[in-house]
């Protein structure tokens, strides 16, 4: 029997990518406003969300003594920087189509910076405790992104005619790297001394918020989209899931139960790490593969 990979054989590292988003149509996924905006919500959340993840792991560096884990953190930071930048470009594309969230995104970003400054101004041992809370939030969110990523990568029936090819490559590359680095925040959390109670407590509000907030945000994107008609509905969501167009929100919510197992590790999530690494080795928009990967500037 072949062993299932829980972590990649090599420490994670950023890759150089190239996506041509200039021709992406407003409803780039199956010409369907709800399906497209279900993924576009990621464009709105990821840039600041992933910078928050990076703040938490960068702040953890002074407490990490293991060389492999320090390398993993640097690779994680590089990957998330690249993800955030590419999704920013998607946000600009949405703005060109008249879908404007700039004010909210700027406020979101300001909030992240203020939080990071406050945490870094704390004296020890309070700083360490605040950083542990940040990493616990990151590890919980990374569980959710890895779950979504698994469904995006494994269940999609996207074809170049139904889905803009570069948008599809962008989401598949991001999904694959999320699966590749899904263990990093969790490993750092444990290395820095994080225990079960704190990580489980943080997952409860996150787990409850996601199935409510994601549809609400998708509805709001549809409301601001001059080309969209109708309202978000669960019936249409489940139809898009059955067609392999979007990830399943109910299944991702259900996957959160795995996080509450005391011996949980992100490597146990159902998505195949092999499949993600194979995708990245062949991905059309990744420039250079193992051995030729760029070291992103992360500090």
Residues that bind Fe ion (CB under 5 A): 50, 80, 83, 178
> Could you tell me which of 198, 222, 214 has the C-alpha nearest to residue 144?
214
- Residue 230 is classified by DSSP as S
Residue nearest to Fe ion (CB): 83
Nearer to Fe ion, 37 or 181 (CB): 181
* Nearest-approach distance from CB 240 to Fe ion, in angstroms: 22
Backbone angle region of 195, left / alpha / beta, with phi > 0 → left and psi within -120 to 50 → alpha: beta
* Nearest-approach distance from CB 184 to Fe ion, in angstroms: 8
Nearer to Fe ion, 83 or 183 (CB): 83
What is the C-alpha separation between 237 and 215, in angstroms, rounded? 9
Nearer to Fe ion, 27 or 58 (CB): 58
Task: Show Cβ contacts of residue 99 under 8 Å, excluding neighbours closer than 6 positions.
Answer: 26, 40, 221, 224, 225, 226
Nearer to Fe ion, 50 or 116 (CB): 50
**Cis, bond preceding 125 (omega within 30 deg of 0):** yes
17: which 2 tokens? Answer: 């990518």
> Could you tell me which of 276, 297, 289, 284 has the C-alpha nearest to residue 15?
289
What is the C-alpha separation between 67 and 45, in angstroms, rounded? 31
Task: Show Cβ contacts of residue 280 under 8 Å, excluding neighbours closer than 6 positions.
Answer: 15, 173, 176, 177, 180, 286, 289
* Nearest-approach distance from CB 223 to Fe ion, in angstroms: 26
66: which 2 tokens? Answer: 């293991």
Nearer to Fe ion, 83 or 93 (CB): 83
* Nearest-approach distance from CB 225 to Fe ion, in angstroms: 24
Task: Show Cβ contacts of residue 242 under 8 Å, excluding neighbours closer than 6 positions.
Answer: none
Q: Which residue in this structure is represented by tokens 């029997």? A: 1
* Nearest-approach distance from CB 123 to Fe ion, in angstroms: 30
Task: Judge contact between 271 and 156, C-beta under 8 A.
Answer: no
* Nearest-approach distance from CB 84 to Fe ion, in angstroms: 7
* Nearest-approach distance from CB 231 to Fe ion, in angstroms: 29
Nearer to Fe ion, 109 or 224 (CB): 109
Nearer to Fe ion, 149 or 192 (CB): 149
Task: Judge contact between 144 and 45, C-beta under 8 A.
Answer: no
Nearer to Fe ion, 27 or 174 (CB): 174
* Nearest-approach distance from CB 49 to Fe ion, in angstroms: 8
């Amino acid at each position: 029997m072949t062993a299932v990979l829980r972590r990649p054989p090599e420490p994670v590292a950023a890759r150089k990518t190239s996506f041509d988003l200039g021709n992406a149509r407003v409803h780039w996924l199956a010409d369907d406003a709800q399906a497209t905006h279900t993924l576009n919500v990621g464009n709105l959340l990821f840039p600041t969300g992933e910078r928050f993840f990076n703040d938490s792991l960068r702040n953890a560096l002074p407490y990490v003594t293991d060389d492999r884990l320090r390398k993993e953190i640097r690779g994680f930071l590089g990957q998330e920087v690249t993800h955030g930048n590419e999704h920013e470009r998607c946000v600009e594309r949405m703005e060109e189509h008249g879908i404007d969230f700039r004010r909210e995104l700027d406020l979101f970003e300001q909030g992240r910076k203020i939080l990071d400054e406050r945490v870094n101004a704390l004296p020890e041992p309070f700083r360490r405790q605040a950083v542990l809370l940040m990493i616990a939030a990151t590890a919980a969110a990374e569980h959710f992104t890895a779950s979504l990523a698994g469904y995006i990568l494994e269940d999609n029936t996207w074809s170049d005619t139904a889905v803009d090819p570069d948008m599809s490559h962008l989401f598949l590359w991001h999904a694959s790297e999320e699966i590749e680095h899904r263990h990093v925040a969790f490993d750092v959390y444990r290395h820095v001394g994080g225990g079960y109670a704190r990580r489980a407590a943080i997952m409860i509000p996150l787990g409850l918020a996601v199935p409510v907030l994601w549809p609400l945000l998708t509805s709001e994107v549809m409301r601001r989209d001059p080309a969209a008609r109708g309202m978000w509905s669960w019936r249409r969501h489940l139809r898009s899931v059955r067609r392999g167009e979007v990830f399943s929100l109910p299944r991702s919510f259900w996957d959160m139960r795995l996080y509450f197992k005391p011996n949980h590790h992100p490597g146990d999530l159902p998505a195949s790490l092999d499949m993600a690494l194979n995708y990245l080795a062949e991905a059309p928009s990744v420039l250079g593969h193992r051995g030729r990967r760029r070291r992103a500037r992360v500090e």
